[in-house]
Amino acid sequence: MPHPMLTMAVRAARAAGNIIARATDHIGDLTIEAKQRNDFVSEVDHQAEHAILDVLKRAYPGHHFLGEESGDSGAAESEYRWIIDPLDGTTNFLHGFPQYAVSIALEFQGRLEIGVVYNPVNQELFTAERGGGAFLNNKRIRVAGLRSLEGALLGTGFPFRPDQDLEAYFKTFRALHGPTAGVRRAGSAALDLAYVAAGRLDGFWEFGLNPWDMAAGVLLIREAGGVVVDFLGAEEFMRTGNLIAANPKVTHAMLKAIRQSLSA
């Protein structure tokens, strides 16, 4: 049986997904704001986050919540913290590009315990709980078994904010592009990480992610047999935003290539 908190997270993700799905028929009528250049938020983001918080706060009023749009709320001293991205891939959504997702994770005492990534376009539901494995629509998933970068299909995210170092990213891209079968930039880190967990991508790397972009995906990958590290090989990615994810051997190869490229 799934953990009750995982069941509640799935309920919250589906509630947000329903709002997103209904809005796809009238995207042109939505109110859209720019947080900063190339970083947008729509009324659907806010409505979806409200739906998530409504479900979770009713169930767990004593917990702490971190939402992309609403920031911190609830009991800051709680040992439980929900990390929420109501619509990861807003730019995709606003253009009708069908690659976006709801992402919900739960930490207990700073350790990831539950992760849910839900794609309302095709109703794919990725779930994980610590020690219980990772699943796609209730079917067990595992990271791909590739042993090197040769022939690997990698995912990434291009820097798009003005404060990000595009040249540093290009160094890593050049280092990883050569030996691989290809690199994909689909525009939703939450889904990219879920795809690593499901073996659809052999690995993923990105600079400057926020906790809500990656928290659920990190647990999915770990529970699917993968490894997640930062660019120093440590586990400070939630703080630095710099992340590498794959199976252990591909992670090692990616880490080596990235560190060499950034030190050159």
Structure tokens given for 133: 């494995």
Between CA 140 and CA 127 the distance in angstroms is 10
Q: What is the pLDDT of residues 70-85, one digit of tens each?
A: 999 999 999 999 999 9
Q: What pLDDT does 178 receive?
A: 84
User: Which domains, ranges and CATH numbers included, belong to the chain?
Assistant: 4-140 (3.30.540.10), 153-263 (3.40.190.80)
pTM of the model: 0.94
Task: Write the CA distances from 34 to 26, 30, 51, integer angstroms.
Answer: 19, 13, 22
One DSSP character per residue, 211-245 reads HHHHHHHHHHHHHTT-EEE-TTSSS-HHHH--EEE
The helices-and-strands tally (H runs, E runs) of the chain is: 8, 15
* Cα atoms in the Cβ-side hemisphere of radius 13 Å centred on 142: 5
Q: What pLDDT does 40 receive?
A: 46
Whose structure tokens read 């060499």? 260
Residue 182 DSSP symbol: E
Burial class (CB in 10 A: 0-12, 13-18, 19+), 182: exposed
Q: What is the pLDDT of residues 41-60, one digit of tens each?
A: 578 888 999 999 999 999 99
Q: If we measure between CA atoms, which residue out of 69, 35, 66 comes closest to residue 49?
A: 69
* Cα atoms in the Cβ-side hemisphere of radius 13 Å centred on 232: 7
Between CA 262 and CA 65 the distance in angstroms is 35
Q: What is the pLDDT of residues 135-179, one digit of tens each?
A: 999 999 999 999 999 999 999 998 766 666 788 999 999 999 888
CB atoms within 10 A of CB 236: 14
| Residue 186 in this model has a pLDDT that exceeds 90 | yes
